[in-house]
Structure 1
Amino acid sequence: MARPTKTITALVCAVVLGACGSSTQRHGAAARVRDHATTAGDVMTRVRGPLPARAVALSVTGHGADDTIDALAATGTTWRGSVTLRIDVRIPRQNGSYGSTEDATGCFRYTFAYPRTSDWGKPHEIACGNRHAIDLTHPPLPAGVDSATERSVQAAVDRLAPDRRSDPTALRAALRSAVGPDYTIEGGTQGSGAFVWVRYGDQCLSVDTTTANAKVSPPRHGNDCFGG
């Protein structure tokens, strides 16, 4: 399976390769596996808002200077989900013969919750077993909450009958069908209608409905998505 490298973004490249590379001369292969596991957890939990677990797994998988990271599982989001990674490290032996390497492998499970728990993004070592790496790229991940998302949401709201668009359960179901499984949709009753957020990472839009009116906000980002 073709896998992306850690140069998916400049930020991830700098964090993963820089942080892990700093231990190159100080640790053996097994210790570096643990270092990479910790750094991967830091990278996957860098964004405050909810991202699909497979999106954050994709940001840390691939080949680095001394390691290969594969995802064995990715479910849910960084607000309610988990990722399992296999980390293989291979380094030249300091006092070995030419071409000799020291190898180590470890598998780690990361759990995510919102509000954050004490082990949010922390690696828990598990047995690797015989599981194979999964393909994180299909179906393609969305670009985020953008104008296309807004149009899809507006169309979904417009198709609902007035009594259903003011029902938070019906509204959430319609939006889920419109934007797909990689967005986080949350909300509930507000006054005589419903208020629902559509989130992807630190990007969002909101839907405010009653039986008489329906308002879809333009895309927002950062503090505007968290009440700041």
Structure 2
Amino acid sequence: MKKTAILILTLSSLASFAQKISDYKYISFPAKFETFKEDFGLAELLTKTLRSKNYIVVPLDKLQWPSEAKDNPCNVLLADIINDSGFLRNKVVVKFKDCNDKEIQSIKGASSIKEYKEGFQDALKQTYTSISPANPIVQSTVQTKVQEPVISTQPVTNVSSLVIDNTAMKFSNGKMDLQKIQIDKSQFILVNSNSSSPFATFKVTTKNDVFRVKLQNGESTLGYFENGNIVIEIPQSNGEYFKEVFSKK
């Protein structure tokens, strides 16, 4: 029973930081979708759909990529449209994979329109609502399968049982004073001694000094060390980010 509980907690922790389409800014797809006899206007429609969701569509030729994508190819998500039609319905599957060929999401769409061009386009339109708007984060530059960092099997949701060490490193943004408490080698928290839950929980990524951050309000974002300070990118209602800097006291 105890092992089962630990497994559930571990999976929950990993799931909360799983990659999503919205983690990316750039998306590329092939000039020809191999499972279709012709284009049927799908490339143009997919391009319009992605751009409406604030993604930047780049060609498959890496020489034509913007410098940000060239410097880190893992910032580019690879999309493909698969013909999944049955006897009576035109069906498509839109697949998104990362630079390590790992599938991030697969979205299905179907149409009862029998004509190929209209039917395939209608099926592709059905996937629109399942594609979240771009909300990019920095991706790992490693283009090989990397081992996931070890995540504590005891996620920090309440700090009332922790002993607050007065000698622990303290940080402030001018409005609040927080203490940095190292939970284990893969995560630490920023905590206000007057609160029963952490202000932010930091988990390591494959990039040094860059962390996936879970805020007190449940939002996920990015954090990093900069000149000895802790920086958190705070999501705003307009989709932009505010740089919150906590200086070491």
TM-score with structure 1 setting the length? 0.30
| Richer in helix (by share) | 1
**Under a length normalisation based on structure 2, what TM-score does the superposition of the two structures give?**
0.28
